[in-house]
Amino acid sequence: MRVLHVITGLGAGGAEQQLRLLLRHLPLCCDVVTLTNPGAVADGIEADGTAVTHLGMHGNRDLSALPRLVDLVRGGRYDVVHTHLYRACVYGRIAARLAGTRTVVATEHSIGERMIEGRPLTPGNRALYLTTERLGSATVAVSTTVAARLRRWGVPGSRIRVIPNGIDAARFRFDPVVRASVRTRLGLPAHSLVVGGVGRLVPGKRFDVAVRAVAQLPGTHLVLAGDGPERGRLRELAVGLGVADRVRFLGECGGAAGDDPGAAPDIPGLLSAMDVFVSPSVEESFGLAVLEALAAGLPVLHVTCPAIDELPHDHAPGARRIAPDVRSLVTALREPSSVPAGRRRAPVCEAVRRYDVARSADRLMALYEELHERAPARASVRAATRAAAWRVVTARTAGAPPTPAAPPPFPSVSATATTKR
């Protein structure tokens, strides 16, 4: 079985790192296409031996990318096309159907009630999503929370499968030698309390709450791993609050899937250097960064984390849910129970074991096989679906959300592109 993964970009984000980790555990021949930004994760995927093609797409309305993507899919004669993130899901489903691919799967990594991938959710992009969703075989939700959101949108429950994200817990094991090294490298005092967060610097992550909280805790330091449009505003906030010397913005760092070239320090090393992990976001689809922190034995203060909130409390005793305001975070950080005596690390909890990446890869492989067995012949797919796919393209060209229209039946479940090698 040959599988093509299509993703919007390959910067150092959670969905991107998750794709790399899954590729390491899927017993398949896979290729990857990134519509934009072949960033640090692309280098890591290539280092693992998987080809990455950069489609060179310019903006959401760059329809010239569609025929190039169709040619790539058709030329590769893939058995499955698997899309990740909003733009790739929209364009990837259309391209796969036009190319006659038998099985089309999409994973929803970052859908919130009011936000999608850190940006406000509009009626237009919701309508476009629903129309193109019908062109696929199945939609994978990374949590039951995401599955419920998709059903509220109007995606039939029979088309949704919940396959959680996974982690390689061993990579996050606490290392006291690495802790000392990273603290020295970042200029963090050996005995100071270090609070940390990992994620894209976008409004939805609400890292301004962490900056404001640290400003009320003299001697406490904050490290933020990630990049995005909010970086400048957060830096100005730290300066305005007089804590610029206690807040470090590290940009994109090497992730859990491996030691990427130039990634320094990587996420496991940073987690070893921290004392408390915070996640102030009020909308999460899964909460991968929280799980990674728990795998490192860190105490975690989070506002929402479906991966943990959906489990019994004793599965993640080191995670504590707090209110979304600054005062609640400050109060929690001041409490002795938030930081174990001697900064001891907790043992691996049941939640971390539950989300082992090997289990996620096995479930995804089973879905591929099930859908592939049910799929019609390639020729019948191409003949039956061309008109439906082009209706979506025509509506997109006109600049208006397409009117949802049922495409032909599909099995249900209860130009220039550069290749990096």
* DSSP states of 20-65: HHHHHH--SEEEEEESS---HHHHHHHHTT--EEE----STT-TTH
2-166+358-420 and 169-355: identical CATH topology: yes
Structure tokens given for 39: 């960033």
Structure tokens at 351: 């939640």
- Place domain 2-166+358-420 in its CATH homologous superfamily: Glycogen Phosphorylase B; (3.40.50.2000)
Q: How far apart are CA 56 and CA 70, in angstroms?
A: 14
* Nearby residues of 72 by Cβ (< 8 Å), 6 or more positions away: 4, 33, 53, 55, 95, 417
CATH architecture designation of domain 169-355 = 3-Layer(aba) Sandwich (3.40)
The neighbouring-strand residues paired with 103 are 80
What tens-digit pLDDT sequence spans the chain (421 residues)? 999 999 999 987 889 999 999 999 999 999 999 999 888 899 999 999 999 999 999 877 788 899 999 999 999 999 999 999 999 999 999 999 999 998 999 999 887 777 777 677 788 878 888 899 999 999 999 999 999 999 998 899 999 999 999 999 999 999 999 999 999 999 999 999 999 999 999 998 999 999 999 999 999 999 999 999 999 999 999 999 999 999 999 988 764 444 443 344 799 999 999 999 999 999 899 999 999 999 999 999 999 999 999 999 899 999 999 999 999 999 999 998 788 766 789 889 999 999 999 999 999 999 999 999 988 765 454 554 555 555 555 555 555 444 444 444 334 343 345 555 4
Q: So what's the pLDDT on residue 406?
A: 40
- Compute the distance between CA of residue 177 and CA of residue 154 in angstroms, rounded to an integer: 51
d(CA 123, CA 321): 31
Distance in angstroms (rounded) separating the CA atoms of residues 39 and 16: 10
Question: Which pLDDT score, from 0 to 100, does residue 419 have?
Answer: 55
List 279's β-bridge partners, or say none: 302
Contact 58, 393 (CB under 8 A): no
CA distance 80 to 220: 49
Classify 290 as helix, strand or coil: helix
DSSP summary character for residue 246: G
Grouping H, G, I as helix, E, B as strand and the rest as coil, residue 298 is coil
Domain boundaries, the chain: 2-166+358-420, 169-355
Q: What is the CA radius of gyration of the chain?
A: 22
